[in-house]
């Protein structure tokens, strides 16, 4: 469930919503909605799945009137899986593309157009002609006639970063509109196929295979988040970003808008993966008498205690220092000495 709850909804969508909704101010409605709706729904779905030991469709036999809710959960999971795998295909492509010595989207290359620039583009400026006439013209005319813009008269417009144009022109090969489907991008199709193969391999033997895969899928996102945290904290201007997110630059006037509360409530479903059916499915494998919370505590405590086969207590673990140690299992308690000197009664 830990691996199921950490995904694009946390790594991608949450920072975007935080940025659009006043920075640190968004954390207030998010925490409120998490306490009032998110955690109760999470606990309810896990409890229902564990108690019934059924999936999201059959579990609603508890109230046949709501059986359509379970069917809708499955349909949502199917649709989410389809578009998630498309995004994973993009990620796989960028992973392969990043193996080059220089990132291909670092500079404007052959695939870029005249709007590609890492700095603002001059569109117009003032020019003084040989006749001492001051005219305001576009930059292409200035370049064509070998003139020079007068200092301080340039008019700028934001250019498209090479990373943006690389995404549109190389990775996606985006067409002009919805009416033009374009051609199949073969390398994206292969990456999508690889994404589905990975999903199929993880679910090949049901809970037996997915339970092993989750050791990687549950831990790896946290490793990535830690790397991103260290990388982000060391970038120039990181303190300003932190101040905007959780500091004095947060826009608390956003709390008066209903949109921020709607976004906070919606984000709960992405953060905890409630109402998708997956929590009921995963918790259905947990035995009825097992308390998921106490089991977790017991496992944490057991990880902090020595294992039973540790130390020189067992004979196979004794080195030179403990070679003369008597195995406790071979000792005879309460031996009674006899006249013959034997340790055992005759």
pLDDT tens for residues 210-266?
Answer: 777 877 877 887 888 889 889 989 999 888 888 877 777 888 888 899 999 899 998
3-state SS assignment for residue 190: helix
**Would the annotation count 5 as a binding residue?**
yes
More confident: 204 or 343:
204
pTM metric for this prediction? 0.69
What local confidence, expressed as pLDDT, does residue 317 receive? 62
**Would the annotation count 25 as a binding residue?**
no
Beta bridge partners of 134: 128
Residues 6 or more apart in contact with residue 57 via CB below 8 angstroms: 67, 70, 71, 73, 74
> CB neighbours (10 Å) of residue 166?
24
Beta bridge partners of 128: 134
More confident: 92 or 300:
92
**Would the annotation count 126 as a binding residue?**
no
Is it the case that residue 189 has pLDDT exceeding 90?
yes
**Would the annotation count 271 as a binding residue?**
yes
Residues 6 or more apart in contact with residue 61 via CB below 8 angstroms: 54, 67
Least confident span in 67-76, 157-166, 193-202, 325-334:
325-334
3-state SS assignment for residue 228: helix
The phi and psi torsions of 121 (rounded to 5 degrees) equal -100, 135
Q: How confident is the model at residue 345 (pLDDT cuts 50, 70, 90)?
A: very low
Q: What is the pLDDT of residues 48-85, one digit of tens each?
A: 888 888 889 999 888 889 889 999 999 988 998 898 89
57 token code pair: 């469709």
What is the average per-residue pLDDT within 120-133? Answer: 81
What local confidence, expressed as pLDDT, does residue 12 receive? 78
**Would the annotation count 175 as a binding residue?**
no
Beta bridge partners of 124: 138, 155
Q: Which H or E run contains 124?
A: strand 121-128
Distance CA 294, CA 303 (A): 14
| Lookup result for tokens 């039973």 | 308
Q: In what order do the strands lie in the sheet with 134-138?
A: 134-138, 121-128, 155-157
| Lookup result for tokens 């998630």 | 84
For residue 112, is it left (φ>0), alpha (ψ between -120 and 50) or beta?
A: beta
Task: Tell me which residue of 212, 283, 274, 293 sits closest to 55, measured CA to CA.
Answer: 283
């Amino acid at each position: 469930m830990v691996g199921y709850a950490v995904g694009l909804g946390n790594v991608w969508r949450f920072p975007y919503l935080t940025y659009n909704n006043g920075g640190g101010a968004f954390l207030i409605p998010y925490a409120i909605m998490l306490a009032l709706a998110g955690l109760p729904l999470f606990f309810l779905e896990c409890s229902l799945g564990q108690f019934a030991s059924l999936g999201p469709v059959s579990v609603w036999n508890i109230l046949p009137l709501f059986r359509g809710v379970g069917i809708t959960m499955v349909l949502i999971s199917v649709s989410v899986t389809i578009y998630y795998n498309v995004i994973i295909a993009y990620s796989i492509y960028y992973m392969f593309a990043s193996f080059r010595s220089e990132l291909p989207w670092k500079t404007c290359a052959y695939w870029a157009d005249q709007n590609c620039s890492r700095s603002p583009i001059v569109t117009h400026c003032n020019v003084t002609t040989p006749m001492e006439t001051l005219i305001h013209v576009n930059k292409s005319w200035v370049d064509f006639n070998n003139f020079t813009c007068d200092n301080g008269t340039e008019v700028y417009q934001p250019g498209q970063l090479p990373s943006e144009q690389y995404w549109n022109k190389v990775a996606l090969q985006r067409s002009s509109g919805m009416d033009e489907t374009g051609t199949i991008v073969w390398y994206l199709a292969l990456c999508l196929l690889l994404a589905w193969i990975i999903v199929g391999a993880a679910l090949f033997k049901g809970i037996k295979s997915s339970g092993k895969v989750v050791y990687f899928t549950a831990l790896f996102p946290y490793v990535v988040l830690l790397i991103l945290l260290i990388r982000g904290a060391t970038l120039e201007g990181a303190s300003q970003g932190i101040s905007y997110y959780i500091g004095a630059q947060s826009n608390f006037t956003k709390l008066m808008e209903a949109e921020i509360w709607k976004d906070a409530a919606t984000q709960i479903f992405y953060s905890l993966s409630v109402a998708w059916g997956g929590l009921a499915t995963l918790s259905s494998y947990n035995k009825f008498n097992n308390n998921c919370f106490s089991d977790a505590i017991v496992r944490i405590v057991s990880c902090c205690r020595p294992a039973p086969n540790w130390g020189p207590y067992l004979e196979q673990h004794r080195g030179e220092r403990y070679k003369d140690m008597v195995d406790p299992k071979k000792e005879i308690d309460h031996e009674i000495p006899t006249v013959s000197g034997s340790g055992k009664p005759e």
